Amino acid sequence: MREITFGAAVNEAMAEEMRLDESIIILGEDVAEAGTPFKVLSGLVEEFGTERVIDTPISEPGFTGIAVGAAMTGLRPIVDLMFGDFLFLIMDQLCNQAAKTHYMSGGKLSVPMVLRTNMGATRRSAAQHSQSLQALVAHIPGLKVAMPSSAYEAKGLMKTAIRDNNPVVIFEDKLMYNDKAEVPEEEYLINFGEANILRPGTDITLIATSSMVQQAEMAANTLADQNISAEVIDPRTISPLDETTLINSVKKTSHAIVIDEGHQNYGITAEIAARISEKAFYYLDAPVQRLGAMDVPVPFSPVLEDLTVPTAQQIHERVVMVLEGKI
Amino acid sequence: MSNNKDNKNSYLQMFRQMVRIRAFEEQANQLYLSAKMPGLTHMYVGQEAVAVGICEALTPNDKITSTHRGHGHCVAKGADFKQMFCELLGKQEGYCRGKGGSMHIADQANGNLGANAIVGGSAGIATGAALTAKRMGKKEVSVCFFGDGALGQGLLYETMNMAALWKLPVIYACENNLYGEYTKVEEMAAGDLMARAKGFGIESFEVDGQDVLAVNNLTQELVERARKGDGPFFILLNTYRYHGHHVGDINREYYRSKEEEQLWREERDPITNFSQLLVDKKISTSEELKSIELQIEKDAEEAVNYALNAAWPDASEVNMHVFASN
């Protein structure tokens, strides 16, 4: 099968959907000729024109709000938020307006929009361009949240997001844009709320999102050398969350570690660990463990920054501690 | 709607709509005072000519976004009393099945995209609706209603900038009722209110918001131009809210005097003054206007009684409509 980059997969998903549906537009900073700073949207303006690929001023709340109104009245906007850190700027439009409109109107109005943004540290971009803020939006009822972990997921989840009649936030790991993976030429979609078991195992369940999926797989490989069988699961969407697949896995392995690049305090790892404790407690042989980003602003200095993000080695070590009863 | 303003029907329609808003609000206030309404609400009384003058220049397909003080816009855009009172009381038959309440009433069938409890929060929505109209070639216009308080919100200026850059068919209607909550506008907005939109190259107009004909004439002209692609526009409508910020804001002498309130009520009332004009110009008679008022008051009372007796939402509604189905 052909291999394409994560960035190309996102681009392809958007282009395919835009060919099918005239109502889809893209709004954001430098999305047209520049194709975004990460060049993910290159070529789209040439095919679809500036009427549909719209460069906006640097006004994140403004263009997000305009997308909400456009979505309520018949368009299907894809908002490009250049960095996930800018979510703090658009919280009212995303969480008070987009997320609540369908409910507050008793189902009369809907907001079919996609907000694609990114996450991920270790790019030496410091505290305001490195955060992984998925927990912030996953907390809000009315928003769906997808976290693709490879080019394959990026394409399938983006296409599903565009067709969804609700506001969907997609977090792309900005360090993954050049990573290649097998992506079929034929059309496919990935349903929301369906986790992917990347690697079956019997001793421990590693639940990892986005950037952490690769780390969990690397750990599973080195663990296999020690005859430890780790099951690696990627939830793919954290809202909705495929609880069944996660719980069934933990019931089987009786051990679990949850890994996500967002801060650990009140984060995705906390939520998933809590659900496991609520629904699989009596199957557990050890406390559920969490590995998230350190609860510090992301530091600039590389030697400091690298300490803040969970690594394959840390996952490996934690698995050994759990299985040896040292937790 | 009222292209021929000499047409008696369009004058009476504007009168009727203003009276409907006032009758609705008087009942809503009574519901609050008699503790029959959950929560609080914000009265539109005094500002009727703004909503009616503007909405009578729109078609049902034109969109509006409204504010926390939104009953007037909702009525003016064509909403029905019963469904509105049901919404205010949190009943199943309300416009939003009781899930929105006073501050979130939406009536999408008549082009009302909803009231908004975030001051200035709907500037993006109205501008986005105009983007849809332009992109789809629909010739529709959207009107963004907001108060002077929203002039403090950055979102408004961001969206005005984009509307001007992209020549969107949106009219920003600033209702200056002189107070943002409990604070005078001059204590919150520096400089010239009219200069703000002009800074973006948006044509701006100031009009007496107590004069329904002046508001309607101006809006008709701007709507027609916006449909042809001349938008966006900004209108500053000078008006006054008779009640406090909300129905519970009774003792308000610390921020405005009773004399000031009395002056507006007695000399600047949009309904009284328009009634006088209709009689003076022999378009109607005081008897005819009185009978319209009585009929509307009766309708409002009936609608309130209907809503008081209407069913609550079933408990199963609570987690319904969090997401739209695909």
pLDDT one-digit tens code per residue, A31-50: 999 999 999 999 999 999 99
* Contacts with B123 from chain A: Cβ below 8 Å: 62, 65
pLDDT digits (tens, 9 = 90+) for B223-239: 999 999 999 999 999 99
Whether residues B99 and A106 touch (CB distance < 8 A) is answered with yes
Consecutive H or E run containing A48: helix A44-48
Consecutive H or E run containing A57: none
* Contact present, A167 and A113 (Cβ < 8 Å): yes
Whether residues A106 and B165 touch (CB distance < 8 A) is answered with no
Q: Please list, in sequence order, all residues whose beta carbon lies within 8 angstroms of the beta carbon of residue A193, skipping any fewer than 6 positions away.
A: A237, A240, A241, A242
Spans of all domains in chain A: 3-182, 196-323
The answer, for B113 touching chain A at a CB cutoff of 8 Å, is yes
Q: Which residue of B has its CA nearest to A163?
A: B326
The answer, for B155 touching chain A at a CB cutoff of 8 Å, is yes
C-alpha atoms less than 13 angstroms from C-alpha of B35 in its C-beta half-sphere: 0
pLDDT at B2: 44
Beta-bridge partner residues of B207: B237
Q: Please list, in sequence order, all residues whose beta carbon lies within 8 angstroms of the beta carbon of residue B267, skipping any fewer than 6 positions away.
A: none
Nearest CA-CA distance, residue B101 and chain A, Å: 8
Whether residues B133 and A164 touch (CB distance < 8 A) is answered with no
Tokens standing for residue A273: 């660990």
The answer, for A325 touching chain B at a CB cutoff of 8 Å, is no
Question: Would you call the peptide bond into A37 cis, given omega within 30 degrees of 0 as the criterion?
Answer: no
Nearest CA-CA distance, residue B108 and chain A, Å: 7
What ipTM is given for this predicted complex? 0.96
* Contact present, B310 and B89 (Cβ < 8 Å): yes
* Contact present, A290 and A257 (Cβ < 8 Å): yes
Whether residues B124 and A75 touch (CB distance < 8 A) is answered with no
Total Cβ atoms within 10 A of residue B217: 16
Q: Please list, in sequence order, all residues whose beta carbon lies within 8 angstroms of the beta carbon of residue B301, skipping any fewer than 6 positions away.
A: B27
Nearest CA-CA distance, residue B167 and chain A, Å: 13
Mutate one of A50, A103, A145 to test the B interface: name it (highest B CB count within 10 A). A103
What secondary structure letter does DSSP report for B45?
A: T
Beta-bridge partner residues of B237: B175, B207
The answer, for A191 touching chain B at a CB cutoff of 8 Å, is no
> Would the pLDDT of B1 be above 50?
no
* Contacts with A96 from chain B: Cβ below 8 Å: 118, 121
What is the arithmetic mean of pLDDT over B191-203?
Answer: 98
Select from A312, A94, A98 the least CA-distant residue to A215.
Answer: A312
Ordered DSSP codes for A62-124:
HHHHHHHHHHHTT-EEEEE-S-GGGGGGGHIIIIIIITTHHHHTTTS-----EEEEEE---SS
pLDDT at A242: 98
For domain A196-323, give the CATH number.
3.40.50.920
Total Cβ atoms within 10 A of residue B30: 14
pLDDT at B3: 47
CB-based burial label for B25 (10 Å; 0-12, 13-18, 19+):
buried
Nearest CA-CA distance, residue A163 and chain B, Å: 8
* Contacts with A61 from chain B: Cβ below 8 Å: 124, 154-155, 158
Residue B278 phi/psi, 5° resolution? Answer: -65, -40
Q: Using CA atoms, how far apart are residues A114 and B166, in angstroms rounded to an integer? A: 22
User: What does the longest C-alpha to C-alpha distance in chain A come to?
Assistant: 61
Q: Assign domain B8-315 to a CATH class.
A: alpha beta
The answer, for A28 touching chain B at a CB cutoff of 8 Å, is no
* Contacts with A111 from chain B: Cβ below 8 Å: 324
Q: Using CA atoms, how far apart are residues A160 and A143, in angstroms rounded to an integer? A: 14
pLDDT at A188: 98
CA–CA distances in Å: residue A107 to residues B71, B104, B106, B288, B299: 20, 13, 11, 41, 28
Q: Using CA atoms, how far apart are residues A158 and A146, in angstroms rounded to an integer? A: 9
Q: Please list, in sequence order, all residues whose beta carbon lies within 8 angstroms of the beta carbon of residue B38, skipping any fewer than 6 positions away.
A: B89, B90, B101
Q: Using CA atoms, how far apart are residues A199 and A283, in angstroms rounded to an integer? A: 21
* Contacts with B114 from chain A: Cβ below 8 Å: 101, 104-105, 109
pLDDT digits (tens, 9 = 90+) for B31-46: 999 999 999 999 999 9
Average pLDDT, chain A: 98
CA–CA distances in Å: residue B63 to residues A105, A273, B57, B66, B77: 15, 46, 12, 10, 9
Cβ pairs bridging A and B (under 8 Å): 158
Whether residues B136 and A75 touch (CB distance < 8 A) is answered with yes
* Contacts with B132 from chain A: Cβ below 8 Å: 69-70, 73-75
> Would the pLDDT of B7 be above 90?
no
A3-182: which CATH architecture? 3-Layer(aba) Sandwich (3.40)
Whether residues A61 and B128 touch (CB distance < 8 A) is answered with no
Whether residues B128 and A110 touch (CB distance < 8 A) is answered with no
What is the arithmetic mean of pLDDT over A149-164?
Answer: 98
User: What does the longest C-alpha to C-alpha distance in chain B come to?
Assistant: 58
Q: Using CA atoms, how far apart are residues A287 and A322, in angstroms rounded to an integer? A: 8
Q: Which residue of B has its CA nearest to A53?
A: B135
The answer, for A68 touching chain B at a CB cutoff of 8 Å, is yes
**Type of residue at A127:** A
> Would the pLDDT of A265 be above 50?
yes
What is the arithmetic mean of pLDDT over B94-103?
Answer: 97
Q: Which residue of B has its CA nearest to A64?
A: B124
> Would the pLDDT of A179 be above 80?
yes
CA torsion angle for B253, B255, B260, B266 (degrees, to 10)? Answer: -70
* Contact present, A129 and A142 (Cβ < 8 Å): no
Looking at the annotation, which residues of A are catalytic?
60, 129
Residue A35 phi/psi, 5° resolution? Answer: 65, 25
**Type of residue at A262:** G
Distance of alpha carbon A159 from its chain centroid, rounded? Answer: 14
Please check whether the two domains, A3-182 and A196-323, share a CATH topology.
yes
The answer, for B316 touching chain A at a CB cutoff of 8 Å, is no
Nearest CA-CA distance, residue A262 and chain B, Å: 25
What is the arithmetic mean of pLDDT over B265-281?
Answer: 97
Chain B window 3-42: which residues touch A at a Cβ cutoff of 8 Å?
Answer: none
3-state secondary structure at position B118: coil
At residue A327 the predicted structure's pLDDT band, cuts being 50, 70 and 90, is confident
Chain B window 255-314: which residues touch A at a Cβ cutoff of 8 Å?
Answer: none
At residue B6 the predicted structure's pLDDT band, cuts being 50, 70 and 90, is low
Mutate one of A50, A66, A96, A163 to test the B interface: name it (highest B CB count within 10 A). A66
Tokens standing for residue B256: 């405005």
CA–CA distances in Å: residue B26 to residues B20, B23, B102, B243, B296: 10, 5, 14, 11, 12
Whether residues A66 and B159 touch (CB distance < 8 A) is answered with yes
pLDDT at A59: 98
Q: Using CA atoms, how far apart are residues A284 and A204, in angstroms rounded to an integer? A: 10
Nearest CA-CA distance, residue A173 and chain B, Å: 26
pLDDT at A196: 98
The answer, for A55 touching chain B at a CB cutoff of 8 Å, is no
Q: Using CA atoms, how far apart are residues A177 and A172, in angstroms rounded to an integer? A: 8
Instruction: Cite the DSSP H helix spans in B35-117.
Output: 48-55, 71-76, 81-88
Average pLDDT, chain B: 96
Dihedral over Cα of B230, B236, B239, B244: its sign? positive
